[in-house]
Chain A
Amino acid sequence: MAGDVLVVAEHLGGKLADVTFELLGRGRELADGLGGELAAALVGGGEGLAAELGAADLVVTVDGEGLGEFNPESHARALEAVVESVGPRAVLVGYTAMGMDLASTLAVRTGRAHAAFCVGVELEGGRLRAVSQLYGGKMNVTTDLGDGPCVLSFLAGSAPAEAGRKEGAPRVEPLAPPPAPGRVRFKRLIEPEAGDVDITTQEVLVAVGRGIGGKDDIEVAEELAEALGGAVAASRPLIDAGWLPKTRQVGKSGLKVKPKLYLALGISGAPEHVEGMKSSATIVAINTDKHAPIFGFAHYGMVADLFDVCEELTEIVQDRKG
């Protein structure tokens, strides 16, 4: 229907991702505004997961060979079939590792407008305006998507998940899987190696970003973390550079953490990083750039050289602890 909204349900290992519930909450609001229904597309995952999508009016399920595990090609084709069947005004996808394989592909193949990095959507006189958080979180860019069908990919954590966690009894309509070209084949899932410090259980995290400069400079953060009885975490660029193991990465493709104290050193606060740490009890950011987005959501901030602060603070903490 013309005013319907379709949410793409994302799941891994039999569990729905939080972003799915965030999108259901958003989707309900948007569907109400458009005077349509809220539908969810569940590709793979089985009956059990459909029951958890109670916030939707309709759940369209597609299941079959090769759909049990996420597959960038066959899942995109299945989603396309759901979109053609439901004909929604807006398709809501998570801007996640899986969603990134689906949204742009769907937009091109179905001729829909697409806005990525979304943090909001507004309805104005029948036109949809998407707010995208671009340039590493430094700008909110509003795009007028007009009054036609569209795809919106939302950053995870951009809306509360609670709004989409509702009991309900949506109609469940199975859809036959469309033929997939079979050019992408799922082989296996590899779980992260254990053995390193588990940053998700630490009370204090000293997190370092690009501002740290070089690999050898991480030592100052290590010393501070040790003094505070915590561990060192990092944003993605440092992991990609091979300066710290993957087990220390906080953010979208890393781990979600919520320590008592998250001390962010030289981290600008790109949305991908924020996603992983914004639930921390206290966030203190130290950055030389007074316009760094991280100061927007940190509880405390200091415009300073992280090395000066690290050294002074480490000394004070060590003195206190004798």
Chain B
Amino acid sequence: MKLIVLMKRVPDLVEDLEVDGSGRALDAETLKLTTNEFDEHALEEALLLKEATGGELTVVALDGEEVDKMLFTAMAKGADRALKITGAGAVGSNLALARLFVRALEGRELDLVLTGVQAADDRDGQLGPLVAALLDLPCVEVVTGVSPGEGSVTLHKEYSGGVVAEFEVDLPAVLGIQAARQAPRYAPVSKVRQVQESATLETIESGEGGAAAEGGFEIVQMTPPETGEGAQMLEGVDELVAVLESKGVL
């Protein structure tokens, strides 16, 4: 099975996010990026499928801060190849990013494209269905657990309340992974270093499809949400105990 995993870097939500002087973008100076957590699950699910079917796994990402490390880490975990899209500059929308991914996949054999179900910066939709629509492939979002079949996969899609729907999907297809069957594996630093020294990343120039692929609509404002009244802040456990008493919990 030819497996493709699309990965992207997103703002690290553990850090404070600041708006820059324009009032329309995150402050690049203080912004810290991390790999989209759902993409880590997509990679894990793809690794499990590769192990089960003896397939070939290629990880694809747009060039950027610490992207090499992300790709080498994916290879240390078991990906066969890594492909980096260069020269695109800043990509302001997922649709533009999806077009870049589609261009990078042109002429490549693929059975299953996996990516994270969503990312914290999905302003104009999710990467999986965008890529699928551009390639006219079937797509299922919110997937947990994929079993390979003959020319198809059987998968679980999560609804709310713990209800799960089972679908059979013909290949090739695109899946938005919510959670892999097991927690994403860990690649020891020594292994990543070793891969970094022996493996090479393939690169593909984005060409005309780069910044020109910008199809996104303009952000006119970015502000932390109004919190209304907000929480009444408590100073210590004594005050918390008093609240619990007043609410009849204690």
Give B245's nearest chain A residue, CB to CB: A320
Also in contact, A142 and B138, with CB within 8 A (given A114-B125, A135-B17, A190-B156): no
Looking at the complex, which one of B141, B162, B170, B237 makes contact with A183 (CB distance below 8 Å)? B170
Docked complex Cα distance between A246 and B19 (Å): 36
Q: Is B173 an interface residue (CB 8 A)?
A: yes
A-B pairs with CB below 8 Å: how many? 263
B206-240 interface with A by 8 A CB criterion: 217-228, 230-237, 239-240
B residues within 8 A CB of A247? 162
B224 touches A138 (CB 8 A): yes
Q: Is B53 an interface residue (CB 8 A)?
A: no
Docked complex Cα distance between A246 and B179 (Å): 12
Also in contact, A105 and B13, with CB within 8 A (given A72-B140, A261-B247, A317-B250): no
Looking at the complex, which one of B95, B142, B168 makes contact with A185 (CB distance below 8 Å)? B168
A12 touches B120 (CB 8 A): no
Q: Is B194 an interface residue (CB 8 A)?
A: no
Query: Which of A25-33, A43-51, A249-257 forms contacts with chain B?
Result: A249-257
B residues within 8 A CB of A297? 227-228, 230-231
B250 touches A320 (CB 8 A): yes
B residues within 8 A CB of A140? 221-226
Give A229's nearest chain B residue, CB to CB: B249
Min CB gap B151→A, angstroms: 11
Also in contact, A145 and B120, with CB within 8 A (given A187-B168, A253-B158): no
A residues within 8 A CB of B199? none
Q: Is A201 an interface residue (CB 8 A)?
A: no
A144 touches B218 (CB 8 A): yes
Give B241's nearest chain A residue, CB to CB: A316
Looking at the complex, which one of A116, A240, A270, A301 makes contact with B123 (CB distance below 8 Å)? A116
Min CB gap A241→B, angstroms: 5
Chain A contact-residue range equals 35 or more
Min CB gap B229→A, angstroms: 9
Q: Is A137 an interface residue (CB 8 A)?
A: yes
Min CB gap B217→A, angstroms: 5
Also in contact, A296 and B227, with CB within 8 A (given A135-B17, A141-B222): yes
B residues within 8 A CB of A129? 220
Q: How many residues of B contact A (CB 8 A)?
A: 81
Q: Is A2 an interface residue (CB 8 A)?
A: no
Interface SS, B side: mixed
Min CB gap A312→B, angstroms: 5
Min CB gap B80→A, angstroms: 25
Give B129's nearest chain A residue, CB to CB: A104
A residues within 8 A CB of B130? 104, 108
B residues within 8 A CB of A191? 162-163
A292-306 interface with B by 8 A CB criterion: 293-303
Also in contact, A100 and B129, with CB within 8 A (given A72-B141, A253-B158, A296-B227): yes
Give B215's nearest chain A residue, CB to CB: A113
Docked complex Cα distance between A104 and B128 (Å): 9
Q: Is B118 an interface residue (CB 8 A)?
A: yes
A100 touches B126 (CB 8 A): yes
Q: Is A61 an interface residue (CB 8 A)?
A: no
Q: Is A20 an interface residue (CB 8 A)?
A: no
Min CB gap B181→A, angstroms: 10
Docked complex Cα distance between A140 and B161 (Å): 27
Min CB gap B77→A, angstroms: 17
Q: Is A291 an interface residue (CB 8 A)?
A: yes
Min CB gap A33→B, angstroms: 18
B residues within 8 A CB of A132? 123
Q: Is B160 an interface residue (CB 8 A)?
A: yes
B241 touches A313 (CB 8 A): yes
B15-37: contact bitstring with A at CB < 8 Å (1 yes, 0 no)?
Answer: 01101000000100000000001
Determine which residue in A134, A189, A284, A312 has the highest number of CB atoms from chain B within 10 A of its CB, and name it: A134
A285 touches B231 (CB 8 A): yes
Docked complex Cα distance between A101 and B169 (Å): 14
A residues within 8 A CB of B109? none
Docked complex Cα distance between A127 and B221 (Å): 15
Q: Is A115 an interface residue (CB 8 A)?
A: yes
A residues within 8 A CB of B164? 189-190, 192
Q: Is B11 an interface residue (CB 8 A)?
A: yes
Q: Is A235 an interface residue (CB 8 A)?
A: no
A residues within 8 A CB of B233? 295, 300-303
A189 touches B163 (CB 8 A): yes
- Additional pairs, 15, CB under 8 Å, beyond known A96-B160, A97-B141: A101-B139, A113-B124, A135-B120, A143-B124, A183-B138, A188-B165, A190-B163, A192-B161, A204-B249, A228-B250, A240-B41, A270-B13, A281-B247, A283-B231, A301-B230
CB pairs A–B below 8 angstroms (28 shown): A12-B159, A70-B165, A72-B157, A73-B138, A97-B160, A101-B129, A103-B125, A107-B95, A107-B133, A108-B133, A115-B123, A115-B217, A139-B17, A139-B19, A141-B219, A142-B220, A183-B173, A186-B166, A187-B154, A188-B166, A192-B161, A240-B179, A255-B161, A256-B161, A261-B247, A297-B227, A298-B231, A309-B240
CB-CB nearest 4 A-B residue pairs:
A192-B162, A296-B227, A301-B231, A104-B125
